[in-house]
Amino acid sequence: MRRILFVALGLMILAAACWTRYAETNDERAYFVRDGNVYRVELKGRRFPLVHDPVSLVLASTQTETFTLELPRIEGVIEGPEIHARYLGRVVITSRQMNVDLYYSDEGTRRALSWNDDYTLVQKDAAGR
């Protein structure tokens, strides 16, 4: 009985350690800048890279990636089709808090974007700082 508990505890610790290495996460902040008539909102997060062989699957870990949304305004409700023709759902922005709830529509299927989350909006200056 002790051996089983020891093995189970070891597997749980290993799984927890691997989770942080392979888990997809989104940053809490999103940065925006006005570019003419649109606002470019930059979302950052950790994503697992595509791998093509078993060795890369074991050795690879998450990497920082960036996703940019072009929004027509920086306040209120923005419906998915206003952002991209195949997006369903919406982006809601109130008092510099943004909730992304978008889905990609492809041949009748509806897939959630991995960037769906709550963000605090931070304005960048035009030079990108």
Instruction: Sketch the domain layout of the chain as residue ranges.
Output: 24-123
Average pLDDT, the chain: 83
pLDDT tops 80 at residue 94: yes
Mean pLDDT of 101-129: 86
Helices (H), 41-93: 54-59, 80-83
CA distance 70 to 36: 11
CA distance 101 to 91: 6
Distances (CA, A) of 20 to 16, 25, 49, 67, 112: 7, 9, 15, 21, 22
Residue 83 phi, psi dihedral angles, 5° rounding: -95, -45
- Angle, vertex CA 106, rays to CA 101 and CA 112, nearest 5: 25
Token pair, residue 43, equals 């979302």
β pairing state of 63-71 and 76-79? unpaired
Element holding 36 (H helix, E strand): none
Q: What does the pLDDT look like over 16-72, one tens digit per residue? A: 555 455 567 899 999 999 999 999 999 998 876 665 656 655 555 667 889 999 999
pTM above 0.85, yes or no: no
- What pLDDT, on a 0 to 100 scale, did the predictor assign at position 126? 63
Residues near 123 by Cβ (< 8 Å), separated by ≥ 6? 31, 32, 33
Place 8 in a pLDDT band, splitting at 50, 70 and 90: confident
Q: How many CB atoms lie within 10 A of CB 44?
A: 18
CA distance 23 to 35: 33
